[in-house]
Amino acid sequence: MIPDPFERTVRIPVQWIDGQWQLIGGGKLPELQPNVCADLSMPAIALANDEERARWTSGETVPFLATGTELFAQVNRNRVPGNLSDHALEKNYKLGHPSAFVPFNLISDVSLSFTPGKKAGLAGSKCRIPSLEIEVDSINEALTRISQAFEPNRKSFGGSVFLKVFIERNTRMIPLDDLRDQKASVAALDAARPRDRCDSWLELSVSLSRVSDIWNAHTQRRLTEASSNGFVTRPCIMRTPKASDKLLEQSASEYFDFRTKTMIYSDAGLIELMNRFHDPKETSEEIQKLRGLHEAMDRAVLNAYGWQDLALSARCEFLPPQGVKQPRFFRRSAQDERDIRLRWTDEFSQRVLDRLLAIADGAGELVDEAKG
């Protein structure tokens, strides 16, 4: 099941013990849906590797808005003087909200400056305001000057540029704050991109592949069955291929980079993008390409394991979750539609799982909890 991006979120206090996440104070983690995405927040000192800590904590500046981009400052249309009313535009915004939007243009590129633990700030943002026939040195100054001219009766002028300045995308008005949050998510994903290290590309490609999905689903089923029967299960570790190769590195980097670029250009988060990825009705060019890159990465992972026969026969279909039969004579419900995934068939998935189990590290046997 792919989670609804508008559902409530929860915070679960956990602790890293013996290579596993456990609830602080003891106890098992609650059962989670497959393929859950989440943010992991912790003190920087918790990162054991100095190189990794430096990579995740260093400040970074990334491109945000290009020269020539048209932005809109939000004003109260009821305060706009008559001689400026033609420059205060009506836009597709909240119904009944007394907002109007004054356009201005960037005459220099704008970047986001990321500092760990803080919201990103703007760097470099000279603007031109056609309605006032002036140029200013920042978006913040543009907002203030527009507010002074278009809302002269206000007691204070300006405000947060991230909440009061908008960009128009597909007839929708999007505040810079939303754009900043999305860019921050993409920057975090890019920070996770391996830097010319074959072992990391190997780990990343396996973790993103359908091979990993099959193993994770199997592990979750074992934990559920063991818990319901009063047993504990010793961990059975999924083995990764012994070595990477150029095909695997190339396929993983192409998929990862294209997925990140698609998120940027479509103003979508990862969950929204993957909803589209698994939607049978979605036939856009970028989603079709993303699906193809994912399948190529899956085949490269199977090849890296030495399972060329599986790599040659791997095919994906739009199917309900594993173990759930498709209705033959009745229409699927809305929930059924949301649960549909582009995945391997149950038969093929079982063949992959059988081979993973054959090379697994440790038997993962069940142990009577009473006997320890």
Give the model confidence (pLDDT) of 313-341 as tens digits: 999 999 987 655 555 544 555 455 667 89
How far apart are alpha carbons 360 and 70 in whole angstroms?
Answer: 56
Same domain for 230 and 174? no
Q: Confidence class of residue 117 from pLDDT cuts 50, 70 and 90? A: low
Residue ending a domain, among 122, 155, 179, is 179
Same domain for 212 and 338? yes
Q: Name the H helices within 229-331.
A: 246-266, 270-277, 285-304, 308-313
Residue 43 has pLDDT above 50, yes or no: yes
- The 8-class DSSP code of residue 127 comes to E
Full residue range of the structural domain in which residue 353 is found: 193-358
Same domain for 234 and 113? no
Residue 287 lies in a domain: yes
Pairing of strands 60-65, 317-319: unpaired
Residue 369 lies in a domain: no
Same domain for 206 and 353? yes
Same domain for 203 and 120? no
Residue 171 lies in a domain: yes
Same domain for 248 and 354? yes
74-86 mean pLDDT: 93
- Tokens coding 238: 């999924």
Provide the b/e sequence for 229-243 (b: ≥16 CB within 10 Å). Answer: eebeeeebebebbee
How far apart are alpha carbons 264 and 108 in whole angstroms?
Answer: 20
130-154 mean pLDDT: 94
What integer pLDDT is reported at residue 129 of this predicted model?
Answer: 97
Same domain for 252 and 172? no
What integer pLDDT is reported at residue 326 of this predicted model?
Answer: 53
Residue 4 has pLDDT above 50, yes or no: no
Are 129 and 137 spatial neighbours (Cβ–Cβ below 8 Å)? no
Residue 272 lies in a domain: yes
Same domain for 144 and 249? no
What percent of the chain shows pLDDT beyond 90?
36
> Which carries the bigger pLDDT value, residue 95 or residue 252?
252
- Domains held by the chain: number: 2
> Which carries the bigger pLDDT value, residue 61 or residue 8?
61
Burial of 106 (0-12, 13-18, 19+ CB in 10 A): buried
Among 368, 259, 247, residue whose Cα is nearest residue 308? 247
Same domain for 216 and 254? yes
What integer pLDDT is reported at residue 317 of this predicted model?
Answer: 94
Residue ending a domain, among 156, 179, 202, is 179
**3-state SS string for 22-84:** EECCCCCCCCCCCCCCCCCCCCHHHCCCHHHHHHHHCCEEEEEECCCCEEEEEEEHHHCCHHH
What integer pLDDT is reported at residue 329 of this predicted model?
Answer: 42
Residue 5 lies in a domain: no
Q: What is the mean pLDDT of the chain?
A: 80
2-19 mean pLDDT: 68
Residue 15 lies in a domain: no
> Which carries the bigger pLDDT value, residue 260 or residue 166?
166
Among 287, 354, 296, residue whose Cα is nearest residue 318? 287
